[in-house]
Chain A
Amino acid sequence: MTGPGGAPPAATRPAGPAAERERPAPTRYRRRLTDRDGALAWLFLAPAVVYILALVGVPFLLAVAFSFSDVTGGDPSFDWTGLQNFGRVFADPVFWRALRNTLVFTALSMVFIVLFGKVLANVLIADFRGRWLVRFLVLLPWTTPVALSTITWLWMLDSVFSPIDWVLRQVGLIQANMFYLGRPTLAMASVIAVHVWRLVPLAAVIMMAGLLSIPKDVQEQALVDGAGYWRRMVEITIPLTAPVIAISALFGAIFTFTDMTVVYVLTRGGPTNETQVLASWAFFRGIEGGDVGQGAAIALFLFPLLLAAAIAILRAVRRMEVS
């Protein structure tokens, strides 16, 4: 901890109470609370930890409890009902549809987010004229509140006035409109497109961080040795930034997986619940339908998969620290 240069005298950092007792009584350093690292460490950390425990830890346990209860919006009294909520959830085909959609949306979005993010990261670190403008335009989808950016898509995919349809009509590819959000497959594709669009900048920024952390001399040495762009990319850049790529993939997956805003604004789960995901279905049941118990049971299904993703992120971070 203490660096070789400018290390303070040992007296400022007693290892514990024992060291304190051994110290000669009158010292230059007054022993105040503001100097006791051990106590300060807890004191500094406590507010954040208490706050998080109270407003994340407790609600999480509460959510688990709700899923075994008959709490509703109108009747907040808590009665134990065992597995009844889960039984009703499993009996509902919409739940299975939502579960499948969640997995499909997440998997497909993740692939595209990583592919486009990788390309975009290389653009973001490059130096060129108009770089500021390109960076600004590219960041727009990520920094805009999701609900508002999804509204721009809602208008772009309008059933009558979609500009995409207009172009396709002019080119002669289609006669009638596409009704992007009215057909199950196209509506699903639209939801995935919006997720990819809004999360690619985030993935690119994370990968950009990885690219910048590659030591310059490694790249330069490879360049001197005559390695071309693709060879450097495949043999140096990608292996060295693999953990960062993994992290951006997992972030992309988690944010797609847990998001309900895109579905809520774009399709409201429609047509006829065909694009419903777990998060949105939990919201529709739990808040709009008022069935808190069932909503909680649905939302709980997010947890095991999130835990797996979190552990995977941790592994990737560990590997990055080693390299």
Chain B
Amino acid sequence: MAGTLVVTEADRRRYAWRHRAARATLYVIAVLSALFAAGPFVWAAITAFKQDSDLYRRRNNPFVFNETPTLDHLRLLFARTAFATFAWNTLWVGLLVVLITLVLALPAAYSLARLDRPWAGRMGIAIFFVYLVPPTLLFLSLSRLVVALGLQDSTWSLVVIYPTITVPVSVWLLLGFLKTIPKDIEEQAMVDGYSRVGAMVRVVVPLLLPGLVAVVVFAFTLTASEFIYALAFISPTSEKVISTGVPTELVRGDVFFWQSLQAAAVLVAVPIAVVFTLFLDRFVAGFTQGAVKG
């Protein structure tokens, strides 16, 4: 093809065929990955509406409703378990943690990205490494610390501890977003009479808003998924969050409330994934920018 300017009919046909084949392959892989990824959730969603007599019969086709679907198990989830309490706890813990995270991470990221200290690069890397220190390494000493603070068996313990997970990664993401905002803009604002802090609050933060929203979503998801701390610190039902409450309270001994469990999983999974899908492109932008030094 190289060097030829004349495109023959055969070339065109071959190109068209290749294009169609590539598209077909793409669709096949897309559908297969979607099925593989969502399979367990589809199965969970079907299960959630099944009657006991339908579900617990080995010969029944598990993928269809052999008997009329029922909302009983959804009702049980909300009326006879503490699911709503778990959801509420997850929500307010998440919001408070996000708030604390922003208060700690935004100035830190601004300092590292803009205030030009010689140690900024190394500090950024150090903070990122903290994100890699796993809860599994810290939960034992942190649970002693929580006891010392008098916060054992209280949801507040999570408000205090969860920012250890969200702050480092938020600093990292915010660094990336800050690099996309030209420095000239705030320098102009300072020439116009704003102080450094004034320029940051009035000029940089509004421009950073899309990135901040992405960080909020990401931090909230991290707190909602956390399991080990919530399991180690809290045992009373009324103080539990979704990720520990559902697996521990909807299983009584050997009795699994399967339909309600699956309903809970789907009810939590769908909204988070929808929000994430909306922000996916923005996260990707944050990741790339954070990794490439400006």
Interface size class, chain B: 35 or more
A40 partner, pick from B196, B226, B264, B270, beta carbons under 8 A: B196
Q: Does A218 contact B (CB under 8 A)?
A: no
The CA of A76 and the CA of B188, in the complex, are separated in Å by 58
With A134-B30, A144-B268, A152-B265 known as contacts, the answer to whether A63 contacts B140 (CB < 8 A) is yes
Contact with B along A227-243 (1 / 0, CB 8 A): 00100000000000000
B141 partner, pick from A62, A150, A206, beta carbons under 8 A: A62
A-B contact pairs, 22 of them (CB 8 A): A2-B187, A40-B115, A41-B111, A41-B117, A45-B107, A123-B30, A134-B30, A135-B277, A138-B37, A140-B37, A145-B224, A151-B247, A152-B44, A153-B40, A197-B37, A209-B285, A209-B288, A247-B291, A287-B143, A295-B140, A300-B137, A321-B292
The CA of A2 and the CA of B39, in the complex, are separated in Å by 53
The CA of A62 and the CA of B140, in the complex, are separated in Å by 9
* Contact residues, B108-147 vs A (CB, 8 A): 108, 110-112, 115-117, 120, 123, 125, 127, 129-130, 132-145, 147
A binding-site residues for B, Cβ under 8 Å: 1-3, 5-9, 12, 32, 34-38, 40-45, 47-49, 51-52, 55-56, 58-60, 62-63, 66, 71, 76, 116, 119-120, 122-124, 126, 128, 130-141, 143-153, 155-156, 160-161, 163, 166, 197, 200-201, 205-206, 208-210, 212-213, 224-226, 229, 247, 254, 257-261, 264-265, 278-279, 282-283, 286-287, 292, 295-296, 299-300, 302-303, 306, 309-310, 313-314, 317, 320-321
With A62-B141, A161-B56 known as contacts, the answer to whether A148 contacts B136 (CB < 8 A) is no
* Contact residues, B200-247 vs A (CB, 8 A): 221, 224-228, 231-232, 242-244, 246-247
Q: Does B65 contact A (CB under 8 A)?
A: no
Q: Does B255 contact A (CB under 8 A)?
A: no
Chain B residue numbers with a CB within 8 Å of A320 are 291-292
The CA of A213 and the CA of B288, in the complex, are separated in Å by 7
With A146-B225, A287-B140, A313-B132 known as contacts, the answer to whether A52 contacts B242 (CB < 8 A) is no
Contact: A123 with B29, CB < 8 Å?
A: yes
The CA of A201 and the CA of B183, in the complex, are separated in Å by 34
Q: Does B71 contact A (CB under 8 A)?
A: no
Q: Does B178 contact A (CB under 8 A)?
A: no
Q: Does B68 contact A (CB under 8 A)?
A: no
Contact with A along B267-294 (1 / 0, CB 8 A): 0111011101100100111011001110
Contact: A35 with B144, CB < 8 Å?
A: no
Contact: A261 with B227, CB < 8 Å?
A: yes
With A141-B37, A205-B283, A302-B137 known as contacts, the answer to whether A309 contacts B187 (CB < 8 A) is no
Chain B residue numbers with a CB within 8 Å of A303 are 137
The CA of A61 and the CA of B134, in the complex, are separated in Å by 14
